[in-house]
Amino acid sequence: MQNNKETNLNNERRNRIEIIKLMREKKIIPFGSKYNKETALDQIKKMAVGARVKSAGRVVLLRDMGKITFAHLQDFYGRVQIIFKEDVIGKVEYKTILNFLNMGDFLGVEGEVFVTKKGEISIMVKKYEFLSKAMRPLPEKWHGIKDTELKYRKRYLDLIMNEETKKRFIIRSRFLWELRNHYHDNGFIEVETPILCNTPSGALAKPFKSHHNAYGNDVYLRIAPEIYLKEAIIGGFEKIYEVARSFRNEGVDPSHLQDFTMVEHYCAYWDYKMNMRFTEQMLAEIIKKIKGELKIEILNRKGELVKVDLSLPWKTVSFKNLILQDCGIDIDEFPDVKELKNIIKEKKISIDKIESLGRGNLIDALYKAVSREKIIEPTFLIHHPIDISPLARRNDDNPMVTDRFQLIINGWEIVNAYSELIDPVDQKERFEKQMDMRKHGDEEAMLKDDEFVEAMEYGIPPVSGWGMGIDRIVALLTQQPNLRDVVMFPLLKPDK
C-alpha cells in the first residue's frame, strides 16, 4: 500500500496535469519555446525603485492573500520576491495566476522594482508569461533537502532547494578554471588521451572491462591517463596536462569512487623535488584565490571542523620513517613478504586480505592502517619502496626506494607524483614482477604494457609526472565528508 505522502503526491500530479489540459483549452501555452530574459534576478536588488525589469525563473514560494499574491522567483544567480495585484494586472489575468500557477513552474515576468512596507525589494508584475509547467511539486521543505540518499539520487532537486549545494559546484568549476589558468601561465598544454585502452596501466588498480564489437576484443576503461601522456613526452611535448575521467573497479567509501576526475601533468627535465615546489606553489595560489586565505577550516574524519595552515613550505617525511614512527616496524628489515606479514600479525595490525598481497601492496596497506589518517596538515610523503612504485625512478642513493612523493592532507591522498622511470629495461623488469604478483592473486598489480616499453626504447627525457584527485581537493575545500557530495551526479545502485 502507498503511504499518505505518496498518495498526496500522486493526487497533486494528477491535478497539475488537469491544469495543463485546461490551459490548452483556454489557448494558454503551458510550455514555451523561448523568453527574452533581460535581467538576472540578483541584479534586481541593485536597481532603482521604479525601474522597469524583465526577467524569468522558477517559482519556489507562492502565497495567495486574496487580491494580492506573493511569490519568490529563483534563477541561477539569486532569488527575488514578485507581487501580483488584481488592480495592477486586471481581474482576468489575476484569476489566471490563481488558477494555473504552481510551485516549481517557470515564469517570465515584466514589471517595476518595488519596495514593500517591510522593506523587501520586489518586482510588481505588470505582465507575465507561463514558460514551463511543473507536473510534480517541489519538496515540502523549500529551505533545503536533508535526505542524503535523495540528494545523490535526485541532485536536480538538491540544486533547486539547497543554495549551498549550488555554491559547492560553482567552487568546483572555479577550481578547475583556476587550475587551467595556472597551467597556461606556466607554459603547459592541455591534451586528451583515450578512455578505452587495450592495457589498463598507469596505476595499481583493478580495471573495468568492456568489449569492443567492431574490433572483436576486450578493452578496459582507463585507470589513469599516465602511459599516453608519457608517450606524448616521448613524441616531443615538454609540458602537458589532462583533466581526465578515470575508472577503477574497486570498493566505494567516502574517499573513493569508482569513476572519478583526476588531473595529471608531466614536465620534461623536472625531477620530483622540482614538482613538489611547483605543487605547493600552485595549490596555495589557487586556494588563496578561492578561499581568500591559506588558514582554512576542513572537516576531519570525525566530522569536526579543524583549522589547517596551507602556508608554505609544507612538511616532508619519508615513507619508512613514518611507518617506523607509527608502529615500530622498519620495512627495510623485512625484504621477505612472509616475514613482513608475520611481524604485522605479531603487532596485531589488521589488514584486509593480507595473505593475497604482494610486498608492495602490503607495505601500502600497512601505511594506510597505521599512519595515513593521522596526517592532517599538508605533508609530502617521499621515498616510497620500489615494490609499490612500478613506474617511478629508483633513487640514486638507495635503489630500494623511489623518487616519488604523495601530498597528504586530512588523511586523504591529494597528489601522487614521481621522477618518472625512463630506463626501458628496468621498466620491463618491473612490469614482469607486477605480472608475477598478479598470478599469485594480487588483483591490483599492474598489467604488462609492451607497447609502452617499446615507445620508451626510442628515448624519453628525464621527466616528472603528477596526478591529483579533483573530487578530493574540492571535498576538502568545501568541508564535505564524502566525495559524492562534490560529484554532481554520482553513480548509485538502481532504485528498485
Last residue of a domain, one of 86, 108, 138: 138
Same domain for 288 and 191: yes
Indicate whether 238 belongs to any domain. yes
Tell me the per-residue pLDDT of 230-244, one tens digit each, with 9 for 90 and over: 999 999 999 999 999
Greatest Cα pair distance in the chain: 89
More confident of the two residues 494 and 232 = 232
CB 125 within 8 A of CB 82: yes
Write the burial class of residue 348 (CB in 10 Å: 0-12 exposed, 13-18 middle, 19+ buried): exposed
Between CA 143 and CA 60 the distance in angstroms is 10
Same domain for 439 and 297: yes
Angle at 394 between CA 459 and CA 410, to 5 degrees: 115
Same domain for 128 and 249: no
What is the overall mean pLDDT for the chain?
Answer: 92
Q: Report the predicted TM-score, pTM, of the whole model to 2 decimal places.
A: 0.89
Q: Which domain holds residue 382?
A: 160-314+377-486
Same domain for 188 and 134: no
pLDDT band (50, 70, 90) for residue 192: very high
Tell me the per-residue pLDDT of 369-415, one tens digit each, with 9 for 90 and over: 999 989 999 999 999 988 788 778 999 999 888 999 999 999 889 99
Spatial CA neighbour of 237 closest among 191, 276, 274? 191
What's the domain count of the chain? 2
Between CA 88 and CA 93 the distance in angstroms is 10
CB 395 within 8 A of CB 479: no
Indicate whether 115 belongs to any domain. yes
Indicate whether 345 belongs to any domain. no
Same domain for 309 and 197: yes
Mean pLDDT of 357-361: 85
* All three cell numbers of 464: 616528472
51 has pLDDT over 80? yes
Residues near 214 by Cβ (< 8 Å), separated by ≥ 6? none
Same domain for 471 and 383: yes
State the pLDDT at residue 438.
77
CB 290 within 8 A of CB 178: yes
446 has pLDDT over 70? no
State the pLDDT at residue 144.
57
Between CA 286 and CA 177 the distance in angstroms is 10
Indicate whether 368 belongs to any domain. no
Tell me the per-residue pLDDT of 108-125, one tens digit each, with 9 for 90 and over: 999 999 999 999 999 999
Amino acid, res. 313: P
State the pLDDT at residue 1.
44
Amino acid, res. 58: R
258 has pLDDT over 50? yes
Same domain for 214 and 79: no
CATH number at residue 97: 2.40.50.140
Tell me the per-residue pLDDT of 284-317, one tens digit each, with 9 for 90 and over: 999 999 999 999 999 988 888 999 999 999 999 9
Last residue of a domain, one of 106, 138, 170: 138
2 has pLDDT over 60? no
Q: Which segment of 137-146, 228-237, 260-269, 475-484 scores lowest on mean pLDDT?
A: 137-146
* All three cell numbers of 318: 619519508
State the pLDDT at residue 469.
95
CB 158 within 8 A of CB 150: yes
Same domain for 258 and 129: no
Amino acid, res. 431: F
Between CA 57 and CA 77 the distance in angstroms is 10
* All three cell numbers of 240: 602537458
Indicate whether 188 belongs to any domain. yes
Bond into 462 cis (ω within 30) = no
Same domain for 405 and 281: yes
Same domain for 299 and 440: yes
Other beta carbons within 10 Å of 255: 18
State the pLDDT at residue 142.
44
32 has pLDDT over 60? yes
Same domain for 403 and 438: yes
Same domain for 230 and 86: no
Mean pLDDT of 130-147: 80
Indicate whether 491 belongs to any domain. no
DSSP per-residue codes, 311-360? PSSPEEEEHHHHHHHHHS--GGG--SHHHHHHHHHHTT---TTGGG--HH
Indicate whether 423 belongs to any domain. yes
CATH number at residue 282: 3.30.930.10
Indicate whether 388 belongs to any domain. yes
Mean pLDDT of 347-362: 89
Q: Which segment of 95-99, 258-262, 300-304, 458-462 scores lowest on mean pLDDT?
A: 300-304
143 has pLDDT over 60? no
Mean pLDDT of 148-167: 93
